[in-house]
Amino acid sequence: MRKKLIPYSEKNVFLAILIIALSFVFYYLAVTWDFPDSQWVIDKGNNEKIELEPGEKVTQKFTASRNNLSRIEILFAKANLSPGGKIIMEVNDENCSEKIRQAALNVVRLSSDSTYSFNFPKIKDSAGKTYCLVLYFEETKGKTKKDPRIFIHPNPPAANAGLYNQTLGEEYENQSLAMRPAYQNDSWRENLQELNQRISQYKPWFLKAGYLGVIAFSFIILSILLIVILILL
């Protein structure tokens, strides 16, 4: 039985939709890309943890190194939060009195030694400013089997010191959360430039400088041509 061909006009519409969708995906990734601060080490340290009990707030002061603060990663220990819960993070001013940004993490289970990201709209003028990070846990369906636990680091830099249990009024002396801020750039072009710079130390010479852009552009063109050929066959 002869295969029914798609009318040429419908092929054009399908191809146009596909190209628009691919363009939107590439543009979205380029615009929303952020970059973790490489000066922050995020690991288990001495394997010490603090427990985030419901109703208690933990605060951590830190200083942003760049503008456009947009995400904070936190290293959690394994915990079964069934039947459910929500971990809420606030970025407040230095005095912990005014909320600037908020993000929430809805989870049932925290994998062991895994980082979880709290994303929020970027803070454009964050460079050099000290912020108060506030974390607290809300139960949603009754008592959890185990409360969330966060790894902490000993002897943090002075700019990142100041870990407190705000509810109990206790200080974790010479400790800081295992966390790492991330930043965006002002434009998608700057995002691509920084991405190229960051991976330069790991890639061979033929992927450095302008070669990476040429290869990426060629890959996109070849992908589009392949789609066109498959549609026309």
The β-bridge relationship of strands 35-36 and 57-63 is: unpaired
- Domains of the chain, earliest start first: 8-33+187-232 (no CATH), 36-183 (2.60.120)
Exposed, middle or buried: residue 100 (CB in 10 Å: 0-12, 13-18, 19+)? middle
Alpha-carbon gap, residue 112 to 47, rounded angstroms: 12
Exposed, middle or buried: residue 47 (CB in 10 Å: 0-12, 13-18, 19+)? exposed
* Residue-level pLDDT at 190: 82
* Residue-level pLDDT at 28: 64
Tally of CB atoms within 10 A around 91? 22
Q: Where are the alpha helices (DSSP H) in the chain?
A: 8-32, 188-200, 210-232
Alpha-carbon gap, residue 207 to 155, rounded angstroms: 39
Query: Which residues, given as ranges, of the chain have pLDDT below 50?
Result: 1, 6
Alpha-carbon gap, residue 180 to 36, rounded angstroms: 7
* Residue-level pLDDT at 139: 78
pLDDT in tens, 172-189: 888 889 999 999 988 877
* Residue-level pLDDT at 215: 65
* Residue-level pLDDT at 133: 95
Contact 115, 74 (CB under 8 A): yes
pTM of the model: 0.72
For residue 107 the two structure tokens come to 């989870």
* Residue-level pLDDT at 98: 95
